[in-house]
Amino acid sequence: VACTHRRYTSYVFYWPLAISEELRLHYQANNILPTIVLNNLTYLLLTMGKRGSVLSQFQNFDAYAKTLDDFRIKTYYGAALTILSTIIILTLLWSEFNDYRATEIKPELVVDKSRKEKLTININITFPKVPCYLLSVDVMDVAGETQNDLTHDIYKTRLDADGTPIHVEKATDIGDPTKDIVKIVNSTAPGGEAYCGSCYGGVVPESGCCNTCDEVREAYIQSGWSFNNPDAIEQCVREGWKEKVTEQSKEGCNVAGSVGVNKVAGNFHLAPGKSFQQNHIHVHDLQPFLSDGVHHDFTHEIHHLSFGPKVDGVVNPLDGVGGAVTKGHYMFQYFLKVVSTHFYFLNDTVIYTNQYSVTQFERDLTGKDHTHSHNHIGGLPGVFFNYEISPMLIINREESKSFTHFLTGVCAIVGGIFTVAGILDGFIYSAEKTFKKKVELGKHL
């Protein structure tokens, strides 16, 4: 007997009471196959029905329900808002893309644990009223190391009254004031190769002779004497030392180069006269500076001053700074705080340099020193740079923004602009409807 239903059909078999066992087995065997087929078909139909139900339920999670086109209202101000929003989004996306491509420097402050390092000081300073033969560059530090009248890696360029370089083709080493004066070698001096000049009572050098004017000056300085009468020195008269000095006395000087110092507190200065040590005191011979009959002052311009290698983006506070004065006895002092700085770039380049802060002080020395005295550094005219080393270290690491950050920014821009535009559009639409209703209500009244 078959019972038919809307979805499936079931079969019920009634066995005769008096049927034999063989016949019963025969009926069962003949109905096994159709039963299996019918059961598989029934399961498939039931499963399809359940799948359809699951998909219908899954659609309920759609947060972006669609409306029929017939129920959508498009307005002119809505189109204007859409165009304006698109322009704003494109502009902000371009800005976000440029920001994503750019790198940034993230600083980190740690304790400086470096030891026994050297510090390189780079300078470029112009003195329009001090000739090169009068300038001396000296370095002193708290460790007791002194470098007098530096000549290595320090260069000078003579300048005329207008500031134009006189020797453009080649800068001359700073050092002895008579470097630019023609020196007479022993072969052309009186007595030829056997000539041995007198040191006029000064400290005799290792060679045992003072054959040049500069050697006589050095002997005087080592004895602590002022070199104030070159006309009485045979070597100076022969070399025309006084005439050369007079010729250059109205010139200016540009000092440029680098100085290697210990990484401890100290100072370097540019001051007049030959410098030397006397009884462990740093002194300068100011006689040529004060007695040449020409006014000199330490008006100056600092074109560049840095500690260590140059790094793009690092600002040196003293670059372009200067001082003006009309008095000869005048001291300029700059107090610098130097901080070690390391830069780690994305291309694996590492630069070890330094940054500094600065304060300035200046004072008039008039009346505090005698014209024939050797002045101590505290009362010496010139430009002084006193530096201290900070115990801290700044580590700057170059970093780029991640793509996740860029993607988040893009989503925020697009979503934010369209959300605000939608709110504004809804507000305008509601206001328009309210206004129209009031107008229609007024007409009916």
Per-residue pLDDT tens for 128-160?
Answer: 999 988 899 999 999 888 888 888 899 999 998
Please write the tens of the pLDDT for every residue from 5-25. 444 455 444 445 445 555 555
**Mind listing the pLDDT tens digit for each residue in 364-387?**
887 654 444 444 445 789 999 999
Helix or strand (DSSP H, E) at 2:
strand 2-4
What is the model's pTM? 0.66
Across the range 197-220, mean pLDDT stands at: 84
Q: CA 63 to CA 85: how far, in whole Å? A: 23
Q: What local confidence, expressed as pLDDT, does residue 374 receive?
A: 46
Share of the chain above pLDDT 70, in %: 75
* DSSP class per residue in 387-435: EEEEEEEEEEEEEE--HHHHHHHHHHHHHHHHHHHHHHHHHHHHHHHHH
For β-strands 330-344 and 382-400, DSSP reports them as: parallel
Lowest mean pLDDT among 112-116, 186-190, 319-323, 339-343: 186-190
Per-residue burial over 116-148, b if 16 or more Cβ lie within 10 Å, else e, is eeebebbbbbbbbbbbbbbbbbbbbbeeeeebb
pLDDT at 325 over 60: yes
Alpha carbons 168 and 44: distance in angstroms, whole number: 100
More confident residue, 444 or 210: 210
User: By C-alpha distance, which of 301, 359, 367 is closest to 330?
Assistant: 367
One-letter amino acid at 8 equals Y
- pLDDT one-digit tens code per residue, 389-401: 999 999 999 988 8
**pLDDT at position 294:** 82
In residues, how long is the chain? 445
pLDDT for residue 170 = 43
The C-alpha atoms of residue 8 and residue 38 are separated, in whole angstroms, by: 9
Category of 194 on φ-ψ map: left (φ > 0), alpha (ψ -120 to 50) or beta:
alpha
The tally of CA atoms less than 13 A away on the side-chain side of residue 137 is 26
- Residue 171, pLDDT above cutoff 60: no
